[in-house]
Structure 1
């Protein structure tokens, strides 16, 4: 954050932004793996795939304002009972959040940041699948707000049971 002074009719005016600040510092692939355990035989089968996708997020506080958010996308595609491929991508980002209270930071790290990372992860997965010789894969959009809300309800239910 920088503070600038602008002259206005001979008087200095402070233009430092006040209030909460959010910034994307970096987006990167943290890990990528693809397995095709039944290649090359799987390429001779009629392509009627069954897709299963799992999502996971992990956060780490790097300093007072910087957080790493890691989105894991795991896609398993089967043809009949045989696994055609399994691909896992860990797409991560470093995000700066300052001026937010804890109640605001949690949904940003749990929903907003994963929502920003997902298109990158989807592209990484799709590129890996194509390079492995399989037809292009289309991963549907994900409602991270709904997933975050569902997770919060599950945590609240567990807390009530305890």
Structure 2
């Protein structure tokens, strides 16, 4: 029994402890005149993923989305939202920590972000916008490839520095 308890103490732990809106900003700089425009709006969406250590086994993961919608080069609305989450991660192998923070955590947070952005836009009286699904694994792999190119390496690097600062990695 003591061997099982010792093994259970070293078992990997991954839990989402909290989800929250860290930042939400909505601007409609050309209202009300922009409502008279008849042309279809053009939408630009940018997404950024981040992570920060809060304690030895506690991490904050964030997704920031910026949506700029224009009609004839005039901004209809600009929304920036950051969805945050606090995750507990212990006994996780070092090489798996960065992918957890860059893929798994954002995948868990994204539905909350989509709902909050859709809700905020709906309250402006303009047609709703629903953000498309995001493949965070492909996004992560693209960032790793770009980092490898910047470092003059070929292939993926396990020490990304993009998702989790090097000073946050556990020894």
TM-score past 0.5 threshold: yes
* Mapping 1:140-155, distance limit 5 Å: 140-155=132-147
Give the TM-score taking structure 1 as reference length. 0.87
Larger mean Cα displacement after TM superposition, 43-52 or 143-152: 43-52
Q: Whole-Å Cα distance in 2 between the matches of residues 47 and 16 of structure 1?
A: 61
What is the match of residue 132 of structure 1? 124
CA positional deviation for 1:54? 0.5
Aligned equivalents of 2:72, 2:108: Cα separation in 1: 34
The structure-2 alpha-carbon separation of the partners of 1:66 and 1:30, relative to structure 1 and needing over 3 Å to count, comes to same
What's the offset of the Cα at 1:107?
0.5
Aligned match for 2:43, one of 37, 51, 55: 51
Which protein is richer in strand relative to its size? 1
Partner of 1:73: 65
Matched, 1:113 2:113: no
Deviation at 1:88, TM superposition (A): 0.4
Unaligned runs of 5+ in 2: 154-171
The size of the alignment, in residue pairs, is: 150
Among 35, 56, 59, which residue is 2:27 paired with? 35
Structure label with greater radius of gyration: 1
RMSD: 1.8
Identify which of 49, 57, 62 aligns with 2:54: 62
| TM-score computed with the length of structure 2 as normaliser | 0.82
Q: Show CA shifts across 1:74-111 (max 9, x none).
A: 10001121110000001000001111112101001011
